[in-house]
Amino acid sequence: MDVKTALAGQRIELPSWAFGNSGTRFKVFAQRGVPRTPHEKIADAATVHRFTGVAPTVALHIPWDRVADYAELTKHAADLGVGIGAINANVFQDDDYVLGSVCAPDPRVRRKAVDHLLECVDIMDATGSRDLKLWFADGTNYPGQDSIRERQDRLAEALAEVYRRLGDHQRILLEYKLFEPAFYTMDVPDWGTAFAHCLELGPRAQVVVDTGHHAPGTNIEFIVAVLLRAGRLGGFDLNSRFYADDDLMAGAADPFQLFRIVHEVVSAGALASDVALMLDQCHNVEPKIPGQIRSVMNVQEATAKALLVDSEALAAAQRAGDVLGANAVLMDAYNTDVRPLLAEVREEMGLHPDPMRAYAASGYGERIAAERVGGRQAGWGA
């Protein structure tokens, strides 16, 4: 497929929670104009799509985005030109989950957690969502606190019950995270654990790679290549980090890493596939809508560079054992300024070539700041 067509057809999913107030455990800074309701979050996500043209779905997080009528919410999204994407379960913010959710020692707590996951599948039925994204904060803080093996058994049992409830077109995307909030063991700490559970469950269980969830220095593109080869890469939670799970804008900390990751996706022929490119970010100090627009543009730039890799020259250099030649093919693509190409793609899509400028000129940010007065802003603490 031609590079411009591939770029115009790219799909990047936005997280509803990126539009709410967020911060660190030290302080959540409230911003003016932040949505009070899931409807307003969707309106902001639709605005990002209006200026970028490649972000047509928004992921929900339950219960943050709980509403009485999901069919109505889906229609609201459709009226604004977007769809509902992945449903993210939240079994990490209830007092009952202090020792874990689906892995907790208390069967009553496990039941409650699984019931929440099943509720999320009901929501997928109502919204037409394909993906149930599961991230478990479960783990332990101290050696001996609980049985590592029994916790794995409890996890497997819970996942199996949810998997059985899925419709034919629905998937479980299982996310792993090295540490935090638990510090001694996480119950799904790495891709290997997630992969093992997915294999046990069946083909509609897939691993999701959150780029902020690894030890510093981890070769994430290697993980991506291995999961793609096994047909078990469900998607990404894209964000960038300097230290731990910083949830900064994708492509901000290490654009070269993002390029290397997308190169693996492109070279496996998986760009226009079921591999979901989702953002999972928090904009703590920068304005949120432009923060999302910039992130989408960063992912587009990495993708454009990956699409420009001369795959035949690369394969020839690799087969010939030409180490420097192969590396040069990759670096030539990475060092290309793809901004003019993307500007052309946008113009051909009927968009302004510079989404950041177009958004700033639109007055949307000022309008929501003036209109969204009163009520309670979405977020986790402000």
- Using CB under 6 A, which of 151, 154, 165, 177 touches ligand PSV? 177
The residue whose Cβ lies closest to ligand PSV is 135
Least separation in angstroms between residue 194's CB and Mn ion is: 12
Burial class (CB in 10 A: 0-12, 13-18, 19+), 150: exposed
Q: Which is nearer to ligand PSV, 22 or 47 (CB)?
A: 22
State the binding partner of 191 from ligand PSV, Mn ion, none, CB within 5 to 8 A by kind.
none
Phi and psi torsions of 60, nearest 5°:
-105, 155
Determine if 210 is a binding residue for Mn ion (CB under 5 A). Answer: yes
- Rounded least distance, CB 225 to ligand PSV, Å: 22
The answer to whether 245 contacts ligand PSV (rule: CB under 6 A) is yes
CB atoms within 10 A of CB 15: 27
Pairing, β 276-279 against β 139-140: unpaired
Which CB sits closer to ligand PSV, 179 or 364? 179
Q: Which of 88, 129, 240, 257 binds ligand PSV (CB under 6 A)?
A: 88
Q: Which of 71, 76, 78, 6 is nearest to 37 (CA)?
A: 76
* Helix, strand, coil abundance in the chain, percent, nearest 5: 45, 15, 40
Q: Which is nearer to ligand PSV, 65 or 210 (CB)?
A: 210
| Phi, then psi, of 57 in degrees rounded to 5 | -130, 155
Q: Which of residues 220-239 bind ligand PSV (CB under 6 A)?
A: 237
How many residues lie near ligand PSV (CB under 6 A)? 9
- Of residues 343 through 372, those in contact with Mn ion by CB under 5 A are none
> Does residue 237 touch Mn ion according to CB under 5 A?
yes
CA 10 to chain centroid, in Å, comes to 15
Rounded CA gap, 35 and 54, in Å?
A: 22
Which structure tokens are listed for 324?
């420097």
Residue listed under structure tokens 């606190």: 145
40 interacts with, out of Mn ion, ligand PSV, none, CB within 5 to 8 A per kind: none
Binding-site ranges for ligand PSV (CB under 6 A): 17, 88, 135, 175, 177, 210, 237, 245, 280
Binding-site ranges for Mn ion (CB under 5 A): 210, 237, 280
